[in-house]
Amino acid sequence: MSDWESVIGLEIHAQLATRSKIFSGASTAFGAEPNTQACAVDLGMPGVLPVLNREAVNMAIRFGVAIDAEVDHRSVFARKNYFYPDLPKGYQISQYELPIVGKGHVFISPAEGEHLEIGITRAHLEEDAGKSIHDLFPEQTGIDLNRAGTPLLEIVSEPDMRSAKQAVAYARKIHSLVRYLEICDGNMQEGSFRCDANVSVRRKGEQKLGTRAELKNINSFRFLERAINFEIQRQINLIEDGESVVQETRLYDAERDETRSMRSKEEANDYRYFPDPDLLPVVITDADIARIRDALPELPEQKKQRYISDLGLSDYNAELLTANRETAAYFEEALGDAPDQCAQLANWILGDLAGALNKAGLDIAAAPITPAMLAQLIQRISDSTISGKIAKEVFEAMWQGEGGADDIIEARGLRQITDSGAIEALIDEVIAANPEQVEQFRAGKEKVLGFFVGQVMQQSQGKANPGQVNKILRDKLKS
Amino acid sequence: MSMSVSEIRRGLAAGKFSSVEITQDYLARIARFNPTLNCFISVTDEIALAQARTADAALAKGNAGALAGVPLAHKDLFCTEGVKTSCASRILDNFIAPYDATVIANFKRAGAVMLGKTNMDEFAMGSSNENSYYGSVANPWNTEHVPGGSSGGSAAAVAAGLAPGATGTDTGGSIRQPAALCGVTGIKPTYGRVSRYGMIAYGSSLDQGGPFARSAEDCALLLQTMSGFDARDSTSSEQPVPDFSAALGQGIEGLRIGLPKEYFADGLDGRIAAVIETAIDELRTLGADIRDISLPNTGLSIPTYYVVAMAECSSNLSRFDGVRFGYRCKNPVDLEDLYKRSRGEGFGAEVKRRIMIGTYALSAGYYDAYYLKAQQLRRMIKDDFQQAFADVDLILGPTTPEVAFRIGAKTDDPVSMYLQDIYTISLNLAGLPGMSLPVGFSDGLPVGMQLIGNYFDEAGLLNAAHCYQQVTDWHLQVPELQS
């Protein structure tokens, strides 16, 4: 295994979040009754013509600017010709030469402390096809053209990744980016974000790339990792058995966790690309690019750097907090209410909150604890109203919907005891009840202090301020 | 019956006759002569009479559109809502268009009456109208001869007085060549002047709609309604549309007209050359400044055209697959069988030939040698014209190298058929406007003269043609018909 190196490139199709289709006025909303969102243009009726939705172009430029790519002043749509029942015109309008977005790059951190730059070859606009439905009618195939003409941005990476883990980190990075940019909803189940992986293997030190297989039909990051790992092992086994890898397209079967041959290179279509004469070249001016650049939101990489330099967060926490825009938005909203509690907020969000969300299978946007609620909780730790330990209880109660931190502290009587008179009284009781341990302490057995602290805390039901307890105990025991 | 569109408008406005009356007259003529001529694929009597009644009411109220009550015929590749739109192909024999082409919608808005849908070469591929699923169209001047193509039904209908005006489309000469062969006036405007939305595509970068009528004056009226920017066609132009009728009658004193020497070289029938010479003399008398020019790359236009048009059509016609509309073969055993037989049985021979040639030209390994090369030649052809227009205002020549040939004479020789378009085809490659007008006869068959204008100078073309028609009567000649 260690003799081998895998080489991976991804083709990601991100469905752009335009309201109407890329070449017609029909709606792009998901889940409508079959063929109710397909107009004459989407159906490829005789005589109809495509008209470009400029919003799709703007979204593509947004992506291009965000990955620091070349965005050319002229871009051309081309026809990709092939027959398929869910491709109404017998060609897909795509881009071949002169895509909107040229060479760019992103940075990924597949593991703590690991930073890699991944090249992006190009990103181009194209229309989606419809769907063929094979299991609804016996002996027949149904065609739903609602999706036909939905705008896609196809993002093609360089073969820069060397493991499934890196490929997943890259895919997650692009996923995060398109959502930051608000150009794609990123919903993988509905097919708004689809990954195809080109995988090949070669012996370490070898310069020449091995023959690649293209993996399709991957609809989650988990499956992406599994499909690539399966494919790497399949190719290594083939070569080690003296056989060779053939260039082909393979489908990933999640149920059996394997890839299967779909079509070989010999069976591949000659797509006969040529510029679409129905569409004029897209002209993009410097002013268009500048306007889009100026309107960009803060991107994950910039955000991360700001968290590190301005907020003093660790590289790792900054990476995790900025990995998706909802988490970053949650953090920043909470920080607005508790500006001094940056590190605490980060720990709570990435720790207790992330754990609870994960367990409940919820997105952070749907968390029952709002950023303001979390900020209040942390303020109460900081102003010594409650201890960190009690805070866990309050957090749990907030999660269960019992209200805000202050309400719960009040209702459950969790306020920390900071009245030194009351604490002294508790301590006196404990000292009186444990003369043996007092002797031990006075004989120099400092460890016994812990026992006394524990006893006092127990007596106070955890509410006594631990710092004060410590100090007063020490004074009393020493006297 | 040889009324012009202008005469019909005047007559309707003056209350001399109603739209219903003249519509009935035209429908009666169609019923009488169409069995011989085969100009129409569909005759839409009921729609025509309903539209005529609506137009009469509007005329009475005084809120009528520019062409209210004027009966017209439309080439059967313009989509017409609720009416069969066949492109003269078996594959669309059952196709009822679900929407109106922009051109059709414009005519409806102007109050025009639709008499029916005219015959054509299948998918506009042809120069003789012999490639129609519905049979050949006969030339009204001699029914043993072709009317030209691909808009042969429209040209013959106007020549025979079955309609005062008709629409056509021109990808390589499909308005101008049949206009010439049938002795009527027809104009192909600048690419982008008339919306292509709803015009079933043949060669998308070449196709352009335009009118046929008895005169330049009538063409000006019809083109006015057809022209203008359409948001549904990205290639339509935002150039303002001038008042074409107002531009007529400005005279051609001092107008510089160029005669390309390549258009009068070998291959041109000497009798046609003589007729054209006479017409040139007429223009000179009217004050035109006639000059010799050269369009050196004329010879490249036919091979260039056939690569571009066929490449585009091979892709444009992919949507006719038997899946969503149109002809579907009986009992397909699988998807491939469905495609192969639906298309194999649905398309005619010439369409299949062009799809195959176009597919070949776009194939991996051949693209550069054919499609890319053709694009380069296309630019050279365009440059020729641009240089020529530095010195002249219009270019003049014959529309066709021969007059209408006998039906069947060229069906086994596609190359000879393609050569019919030698003078017309380069305009489509360059995107320039051109028109054909009748200037005489040879062997009892009409001879057409082509005028070529600079971009968006349809007004200049129409004015020159109108000036010529003010002093000649070739456009007023009508054939004797036998029913």
A159: tokens are 């073969």
At residue A463 the predicted structure's pLDDT band, cuts being 50, 70 and 90, is confident
Question: What is the pLDDT of chain B when averaged over all its residues?
Answer: 96
DSSP string, B395-418: EEEES-SSSPPBTTSSTT-HHHHH
Q: Which are the contacts of A54, defined by CB distance < 8 A and separation ≥ 6?
A: none
At residue B193 the predicted structure's pLDDT band, cuts being 50, 70 and 90, is very high
Active site residue B75: yes
Percent of all residues in chain B with a pLDDT value above 70, rounded to a whole number: 100
pLDDT tens, A210-229?
Answer: 999 999 989 899 999 999 99
Instruction: Tell me how many residue pairs between chain A and chain B have CB atoms under 8 A apart.
Output: 99
| Statement to judge: residues A97 and A24 lie in one domain | yes
Of the residues A412, A428, A443, the one at which a domain ends: A412
| Statement to judge: residues A193 and A86 lie in one domain | yes
| R_g of chain B computed on alpha carbons | 21
User: CATH no. for residue A466?
Assistant: 1.10.10.410
| Statement to judge: residues A350 and A407 lie in one domain | yes
Interval A433-454 mean pLDDT:
86
Report the C-alpha gap between A36 and A146 in whole angstroms: 7
Number of DSSP helices (H) and strands (E) in chain A, helices first: 16, 15
CA angle in degrees (0–180, nearest 5) for B434-B439-B445: 110
Smallest CA–CA distance, residue B215 to chain A, in Å, is 29
- Residue B267 has a pLDDT of 86
- Helix ranges restricted to H, B72-151: 102-109
Exactly one of B89, B127, B136, B174 is catalytic; name it.
B174
Q: Is residue B176 within 8 Å of B436, Cβ to Cβ?
A: yes
Burial (Cβ within 10 Å: 0-12, 13-18, ≥19) of residue A253 = middle
Smallest CA–CA distance, residue B245 to chain A, in Å, is 30
Flag whether residue A143 sits within 8 Å of chain B, measured between CB atoms.
yes
Interval A342-361 mean pLDDT:
94
Q: Which range, of A317-331, A364-378, A429-443, averages the lowest pLDDT?
A: A429-443
Question: What residue spans define the domains of chain B?
Answer: 5-257+391-476
Q: Write the residue in B79, B321, B363 that is nearest to A270 by C-beta.
A: B363
Smallest CA–CA distance, residue B195 to chain A, in Å, is 10
Whether the per-residue pLDDT at B272 is higher than 70: the answer is: yes
CATH T-level assignment (fold) for domain B5-257+391-476: Amidase signature (AS) enzymes (3.90.1300)
Residues of chain B with C-beta less than 8 angstroms from the C-beta of A79: 315
| Statement to judge: residues A262 and A317 lie in one domain | no
At residue B456 the predicted structure's pLDDT band, cuts being 50, 70 and 90, is very high
Burial (Cβ within 10 Å: 0-12, 13-18, ≥19) of residue B372 = middle
Residues 341-400 of A with CB under 8 A from B: none
Q: Which are the contacts of B150, defined by CB distance < 8 A and separation ≥ 6?
A: B120, B121, B124, B125, B126, B127, B129, B131, B169, B171, B174, B178
Strand partners, B451: B396, B435
| Statement to judge: residues A307 and A386 lie in one domain | yes
| Statement to judge: residues A425 and A397 lie in one domain | no
At residue A266 the predicted structure's pLDDT band, cuts being 50, 70 and 90, is low
Q: Positive or negative CA dihedral for B163, B164, B166, B171?
A: positive
Percent of all residues in chain B with a pLDDT value above 90, rounded to a whole number: 95
- Residue B9 has a pLDDT of 97
Whose structure tokens read 């020529």?
B388
| Statement to judge: residues A404 and A425 lie in one domain | no
Q: Write the residue in A49, A89, A274 that is nearest to B362 by C-beta.
A: A274
Cα–Cα distance list, A414 to A397, A407, A411, A467 (Å): 12, 10, 8, 17
Flag whether residue B324 sits within 8 Å of chain A, measured between CB atoms.
yes
| Statement to judge: residues A385 and A435 lie in one domain | no
The residue of A20, A24, A45, A265 whose CB has the most chain B CBs within 10 angstroms, and thus the best one to mutate to test that interface, is A45
Per DSSP (E only), the strands in B284-357 are: 289-293
| Statement to judge: residues A327 and A452 lie in one domain | no
Flag whether residue A239 sits within 8 Å of chain B, measured between CB atoms.
no
pLDDT tens, B102-144?
Answer: 999 999 999 999 999 999 999 999 999 999 999 999 999 999 9
A434: tokens are 């444990």
At residue A420 the predicted structure's pLDDT band, cuts being 50, 70 and 90, is confident
B32: tokens are 């009488």
Q: Write the residue in B101, B235, B320 that is nearest to A278 by C-beta.
A: B235
Smallest CA–CA distance, residue A16 to chain B, in Å, is 22
Flag whether residue A266 sits within 8 Å of chain B, measured between CB atoms.
no
Q: Write the residue in B199, B205, B315 that is nearest to A47 by C-beta.
A: B199
Q: Write the residue in A43, A50, A52 that is nearest to B324 by C-beta.
A: A43
pLDDT tens, B340-397?
Answer: 999 999 999 999 999 999 999 999 999 999 999 999 999 999 999 999 999 999 999 9
Whether the per-residue pLDDT at B1 is higher than 70: the answer is: no
Of the residues A290, A311, A328, the one at which a domain ends: A290
Q: Write the residue in B101, B235, B335 that is nearest to A47 by C-beta.
A: B101
Residues of chain A with C-beta less than 8 angstroms from the C-beta of B318: 81, 83, 89-91
Interval B280-301 mean pLDDT:
97
| ipTM > 0.85, yes or no | yes
Which residue of chain A has the CA closest to B123? A46
| Statement to judge: residues A139 and A80 lie in one domain | yes
At residue A238 the predicted structure's pLDDT band, cuts being 50, 70 and 90, is very high
Contact A51 B234 (CB under 8 A): yes
Q: Which range, of A120-124, A136-140, A229-233, B233-237, averages the lowest pLDDT?
A: A136-140
Q: Which are the contacts of A74, defined by CB distance < 8 A and separation ≥ 6?
A: A98, A281, A282, A283, A284
Per DSSP (E only), the strands in A51-129 are: 74-75, 78-81, 91-94, 104-108, 116-127
Q: Which are the contacts of A302, defined by CB distance < 8 A and separation ≥ 6?
A: none
Element (H, E) at B438: strand B434-442
Q: Which are the contacts of B227, defined by CB distance < 8 A and separation ≥ 6?
A: B189, B193, B194, B241, B458
Domain containing A450 equals 420-478
- Residue A376 has a pLDDT of 94
Whose structure tokens read 């029952």?
A368
Residues of chain A with C-beta less than 8 angstroms from the C-beta of B232: 49, 51
Active site residue B382: no
Flag whether residue A83 sits within 8 Å of chain B, measured between CB atoms.
yes
A309: tokens are 């330099």
pLDDT tens, A147-156?
Answer: 999 999 999 9
| pTM as predicted | 0.91
Q: Give SS3 for B68.
A: coil
Interval A396-414 mean pLDDT:
91
| Statement to judge: residues A386 and A461 lie in one domain | no
Question: What is the number of structural domains in chain A?
Answer: 3
Of the residues A290, A310, A345, the one at which a domain ends: A290
Whether the per-residue pLDDT at A1 is higher than 60: the answer is: no
Interval A261-270 mean pLDDT:
78
| Statement to judge: residues A426 and A341 lie in one domain | no
The residue of B77, B102, B234 whose CB has the most chain A CBs within 10 angstroms, and thus the best one to mutate to test that interface, is B234
Question: What is the pLDDT of chain A when averaged over all its residues?
Answer: 92
Flag whether residue B355 sits within 8 Å of chain A, measured between CB atoms.
no
pLDDT tens, A80-111?
Answer: 999 999 999 999 999 999 999 999 999 998 88
Flag whether residue B163 sits within 8 Å of chain A, measured between CB atoms.
no
Percent of all residues in chain A with a pLDDT value above 90, rounded to a whole number: 72
At residue B420 the predicted structure's pLDDT band, cuts being 50, 70 and 90, is confident
Interval A251-264 mean pLDDT:
87
Contact A47 B92 (CB under 8 A): no
Flag whether residue A90 sits within 8 Å of chain B, measured between CB atoms.
yes
Which residue of chain B has the CA closest to A53? B234
